[in-house]
Structure formats: C-alpha cells, structure tokens
Chain A
Amino acid sequence: MRAARRGRMLPYILLSPLVVFIGALSFVPTADTAVEAFFRVMPLDPPTRFTGLGNFRALFANSVMLTSWVNTAVYVAIGVVLSVVLGTVMAVALRHRFRLRGVILALVVLPWALPAVVEAVIWSWIYNPTFGVMNSALHSAHVIGGYHVWLGLDRWLTVLLIEIVQVWQITPLSTLIILAALQSISPDLYEAARVDGAGATAAFRRISLPLIRPALAVSAVEALVLSLNIFDQVYVLNGIAPLGSSVLLQTYVTTFEDLNFGGGYALSLLTTVATALLSLAVLALFYRRAEAA
C-alpha cells in the first residue's frame, strides 16, 4: 500500500524541482511585473508610489511608443506569414530523401543556430550602403541605377528589411517542426489518394495540410512570440531610432535608459497580454479550420 502510494508520488517528486525552478524564475517575476506595472518606480524620482493606470496612460501618450506598436504589428504579420509559408515550402522540398539532403538540412538549420546579434551584424554588411552585397548585386543586375541607403530613411522599407533578417533566423525552426509533422503522415494515405486519382497538389491540400495543422499552429505561435519580442535585429540594424523601433526595444529603453521601471513593467505586462491573446487567436484560427475540415 505504502509502496503504491510512493509510486504515485514519484512523478510529483521528480517534477517538483522543475516546478520550483519555473515558479521562482517565471511566475514570481511575472506576478511582480503585473503588480509593479501600477506603481511609479523611478530611481530618479523616489519614492515608489501607486499610480493606477498612470504608466499605461503615459505609454499611450508617447508617439514613439505608438510607432513601436505599429511597427511590431508589421513585424509580427510579416514574420508569421513568411516563416510559416517558407517553412512549409522548405519542409515539403526536404520531405523526400535525395542526395545531399542531410547537408542541405544542416545548412537550413544554420541561421537558427546562430545568435541573433551575429546575424544582424552579418546582415548589416549585406545592407551596407557603401560596400554591401545587396547594392552590389542589384546594381550589377541593373535593378538599381546607383547605390541606395536601405535602412533608416524609409520606415516601411526599414521594417521589412529588419524583419527579413528575423524570418531568416526563425524559418528553420518552422521548417523542422513542419517537416517532422509531414514525416509522421503514413505513406499509405498518399498511396490510397494516388490510387483514387489524386495529384500531388490535391494530396497536399487534402492530406498533408489538414494533418500538419497542429505543426503549423506551433510554428505560427513560435513565430508570433519571436516577432513580438524582436530586439537584437532592430537594435543592431537601426539603433534606437523610432523609425524601425519595436515594443521590446522600447521596453529596454524605458527601463534601463530612462530608468522608468514602472513604465517598463507596464510595457512588459502589455506585451505578455498581447502575446497570450494573439497566440490564442492563432490557435483558434488553426484549430477551428481543423475541426471544420
């Protein structure tokens, strides 16, 4: 009896360090952030005092902050769509065995393995207006007449080019997730479809797509979280200029440059809530379609 009880307790005992670890490092700071977001916490203007929605009002009255939210929305839209679409295309291309597949797979994964700062530095050389590869290639191909300054002058071009760097980094993970889902589909289903006269496109639409929807949902949420928290690429490629600023960059600036910790907490809380709601929306979208299908 005692042995049976001990057996039932074992999973909880084994999990307890993880629960304590996550609780201490995630839930406590998250709860603290949620509370402190309603306080004015500024070392330059002590003492800490309750301010209600004051931090949130200040954030929404700040034009740079609003620009950052809009920019972040664009980063998310581009990031989610491009990484999921490209990830699917690459997964389909890599699904079947062929010569050098392993090498190509390793190359595809490489951008995911590199630190974001390193990638941003690499791309800053690609975008460099004086000696960058992009100008050189486009000029050689007669697409542009002269060398261009790509970043910092046009807002949407800047946002697009920065997000391309992030898509380059996050797409490999989407590819791997979707590839794993594709490879778990029984070949018998495709064989049956082929016998019934279905072509490759119909098989993809009717078999692959419905069955990889959970993987697409995970990829979309992963891309959403990473795009919503874009920082390194923006900071390295565009500094703190409002033109391409993101919400997380503003969180850093507000907290550690302006020393407005209350504002930083409020912004973190908003970002957490936005991440949760948008993730739910993405999941609802994918799973509703899955059920409808």
Chain B
Amino acid sequence: MKNLGIVSRRAGALVLSAGLVTAAAACGSGNGGSAGASSSKAITVAVAYPAPPKALLDQFTKQTGIKVTWVNIGWDDLQTKIAAAMSANTYFADAADVDWSKVGEYQKTGWFLPLNKYYSVASLRPDMPQLDTFISNKQLMGMPFDSSFVVTTVNTKDFGKAGVTAMPTTLSGFSGALQKVARANSMSGPLDIHLATAEGLSTCWYQVTAAFGGQVLTAQDTPAFTSPSSPGYKALSWIVSAYKSGLVPKANINTTDVQGFTTEMAKNRVAAEMCDYSGTVASVYNVPASSSVVNQVEYIPTPGATGVGLNVANPDGIGIPKTARNVAGAVKFIKWFTDTQNQAIWAGLNGPQDVVSTFPLPARLSSFNLLIKAGNIAQASQLAAILKAHAEAPFPNGAPPWYVQFSAAVQTNIHQAAAGQESVQQAVSAIAAQVSQLKSSG
C-alpha cells in the first residue's frame, strides 16, 4: 500500500508536470506584450522591416520632437503578436504592420483605426496605385509603404542560350520557350513555382489567375474559379500541369517563395520565376555574395492567356492599432515614412548608405520618377510602367475578413493537387466549399 501511495504521488506529480507543459505550450504564443511605452513625445513602430538609417530617424525626431522606437519582428511572429495584443485589448505599438491580406480582418474586427480622416484617399490614389489594396468597405486601413507586386523574371543568359531572345507574351509561348531553355541548359525543371503550403503559393495562384485575365473572387467575395473556363480554374490547372509535366522541379513541392528566389533562381537551378516579387533583381539576384546570376536576370511583362497579363499587387502597409497611445505621433510618422522624397531615399536615391535593407520599391509613382531621373535602380522605368498600368489588387473588394482561412484552403489544396493527393476539380471544389462556409459563418 505504501508503495502504491508513493507511486500515485509520483504519478500525480508527473501528470501535473505534463499538463503544465501542455498548458504552457498552448498559452505560449499569447504573451504578446507591449513593445515599449509611448509618451506624447515618443512612438513605437512595430513592423517586419529593418529601420531606416538612424541619422534619418533622428531628423524626424528633430523636425517633430517625436522619438521613434523601431521594433523589427519577423512577419509571422508579428501577425501572432498583433492578434494576441488586439484580442486582449492591450497596447502593442503606435504604428504597426498592416499586411494587404489582413485589411478586411482589421476592418471587421476594428483592431486598426481607419485612416481616412488623416489622409486624403482621392488625392493619394493617382500617386499610389496600390492604395486600393488597403481599402476595405471604403475605409483606409493602412498606408502602403512599398510597392511590391508579383512579376515574372527570366535568366536572359539561359534564354539566350536556347535561342529565345524575344520574350514570349503568352503563357503557351512561355511554356514552349521554357522547354527549349531546359534542353539547351540541361535543366530538369526550368521554372520556379513555389508549391509549399505557404502564403507564396496562394499569391502565385492569384498571379497566374491575373495572367489568365481574372480574379479568384467576385466583388461579392464569391468564388470566381469554379467553372473550367474561368481564369482561376485555368490558372490552378496550369500550375498543377506545370509541376506534373516537369516544367517545375519536383523538389518544389516543399519550396517556399523565398527559397525559390535564393536557392533556385539565384543559384541558376531554374531559369525563370513565374511569381517573383518586384525588387528581387536588385536585392537578391544582383548580390554577388549570394548569387551566381548577377546581371543575368530581368523582369519581363507577365505572359498572359492571349497577351501581356496583369500583375498582382502585394505591398506592405503601415497602420495605427486601436490601442495606440500616441495616435497623432503615429500619423506624423506615417506621413514622413511614406513621403515622396523619403520613399525614394529608402530605395537608394541618396546611395546605399540611406537604403532600408530589403526595401523593394517605393509606393509612390512620384518617388519612381525621382529614381528614374537619378538612374540608380535597375529597370526602374519598366517597373514603374508595370506598377502604373498592370498591377492590380488581388481581390476586387479588398482582402475579405476571412482571408487567412481562405488562403490556407488555397495553399493546402493546390499543394495537394500538385502532389497528386487530389485532382484539380477536387481542389477547386474544396476551396469553393471553404469560401461558402466562411461566408455563411460571417
């Protein structure tokens, strides 16, 4: 009996420990916490971006008297912290990252303040082509602070070796050219499409759908991809077929977007990126330390169904959380951070010393013009033309509030279709069913 008593006490202690570990694991991510206190003369900015050079931040402080504490948090971690802090209604930062995919969610939850009363949408729109990406139900939830968009890139050396000098403008022509490139360069899969279950795969589907001339959701947020003749269906089918036919390397089933850029395209294991991000030529491919394709990669107009296709905009934005302590300071900072001159400076107007590391391209056309005049960014005029005429928001009504669940269904089902675990039709049906369920549950 005594032994059993000891056993039960030991067992109890162990079980308690196990339970505590589990509970701690379950609660571990919820510690959001504040990034630092703000007074009326200070603000905290939390974004997944490196800070501008200290000297420039000091200039802002000198002009306004507001001291900036910059907190650079990884993108995924930042989203979790925002969700935890906002749902707990606690202070997190005065200005924080507003990803384009979160716009509907933040508008519906009220986690971020609408910015309409601080900035004039009508006057900003002509200079900021991607502003609409941050508008949900007519409310401006964030200000774009770069102009990232999805774009096709090719290795001109590999294409030249295959005798392809005029870049194809249609998807069928692009596929044919890639087959020639594969033969001429002994590549088993010449095209990078990243098929890991991650946001990059969803974005790529929206991009290929745009190339086919459509969008995946209607203005009422209903599926626009269920008919086999719809651009969304064709795009999904094209992606799966590209993988199964060997146009895309077999290893790409678990490759993310960044891995595709840095370990596939930059190392010349592939000759083209279907869903590249604007800015990678300068920030990835032309960096000698980590690239073997320096000065070989160029942006091309995205091949479409019958001619040059559209490009999906996926810019980064910044907004003001509802729990911000210094809203006026945050407004001043966002105006300064997205100002024409400063946007051009972050992209290299004043030379490398003032560049914000990994900054893709400015959010404003007027900033592009400054860079084009200065002549210090690769293919700036071509990128500006794409931005002005071809870059469109992924969804006609902005990202829906249930975007994250929708995207999870998209990436999961396209991944499974490519891996042969379900057919294209099954993938389409599963995504459509998820949309219906999400819409019906509010």
- A residues apposed to B, CB below 8 Å: 22, 25-26, 29-30, 33, 43-45, 64, 128-130, 149, 151-153, 214, 217-218, 221, 224-225, 228-229, 231, 237-243, 248, 251-253, 255-259, 261, 264, 268, 271-272, 275-276, 279-280, 283-284, 287, 291
Interface residues of B (CB under 8 A from A): 3, 7, 10-11, 14-15, 17-27, 29, 79-80, 83-84, 86-87, 105, 108-109, 111, 196-198, 249-251, 253-254, 256, 269, 401-402, 404-405, 408, 411-412, 415-416, 419-421, 441-442
| Interchain CB contact under 8 A, B405 and A243 | no
- CA distance in complex: A130, B253 (Å): 12
Given A26-B23, A128-B251, A242-B412, the answer on whether A44 and B197 have CB atoms closer than 8 Å is no
Chain A residues near B22: list those with CB within 8 A.
225, 228-229, 268, 271-272, 275
B29 near A256 with CB under 8 A, answer: yes
B23 and A268 contacting across the interface, CB-CB below 8 Å: yes
* A152/B19 in contact, CB under 8 A: no
Q: Is the CB of B254 within 8 A of A272?
A: no
Other-chain residue from A43, A221, A242, A251 in contact with B109 (beta carbon distance below 8 A): A43
| Interchain residue pairs with CB less than 8 A apart (13) | A44-B402, A44-B442, A64-B412, A151-B254, A153-B253, A225-B21, A228-B22, A237-B254, A238-B197, A257-B404, A259-B105, A268-B23, A272-B22
* Residues of B with C-beta under 8 A to A237: 254
A242 neighbours in B (Cβ, 8 Å): 412, 416
Q: Is the CB of A129 within 8 A of B250?
A: yes
Asked whether, in the complex, the Cβ of A239 is within 8 Å of the Cβ of B196, the reply is: yes
Are A279 and B109 in touch, CB under 8 angstroms?
no
Complexed CA–CA distance, A228 and B197 (Å): 22
Given A272-B22, A287-B7, A258 and B253 touching (CB < 8 A)? Answer: no
Which residues of chain A come closer than 8 Å to B25, judged between CB atoms? 229, 231, 248
**C-alpha gap A200/B262 in the complex (Å):** 55
Do most interface residues of chain A lie in helix, strand or loop, or is the interface mixed?
Answer: helix
Shortest CB–CB separation between residue B224 and chain A, in angstroms?
A: 22
Contact assessment for B23 and A33 in the assembled complex, using a CB-CB cutoff below 8 Å: yes
In Å, the complex CA distance between A240 and B404 comes to: 12
A243 touching B18 in the complex, CB below 8 Å, given contacts A129-B251, A253-B408, A256-B29: no
**Cα A268 to Cα B80 with chains together (Å):** 17
**CB <8 Å contact, A44 and B253:** no
B345 to chain A, nearest CB (A): 35
In addition to A221-B14, A229-B21, A279-B14, 7 A-B residue pairs with Cβ atoms within 8 Å of each other are A29-B27, A30-B23, A33-B26, A129-B251, A152-B419, A272-B19, A287-B7
- B254's partner among A64, A238, A253 (CB-CB below 8 A) is A238
Contacts of B10 in A (CB 8 A): 214, 283
Q: Is A258 in contact with B27, judged by CB distance below 8 angstroms?
A: no
Q: Which 4 residue pairs are nearest across A and B when measured between Cβ atoms?
A: A268-B26, A129-B251, A239-B197, A241-B197
**B residues less than 8 Å from A238 (CB atoms):** 197, 254
Known pairs A252-B29, A259-B83; A45 contacts B18 (CB<8 A): no
Asked if B11 and A280 sit within 8 Å, CB to CB, the answer is yes
Q: How far is the CA of A259 from the CA of B401 in the complex (A)?
A: 11
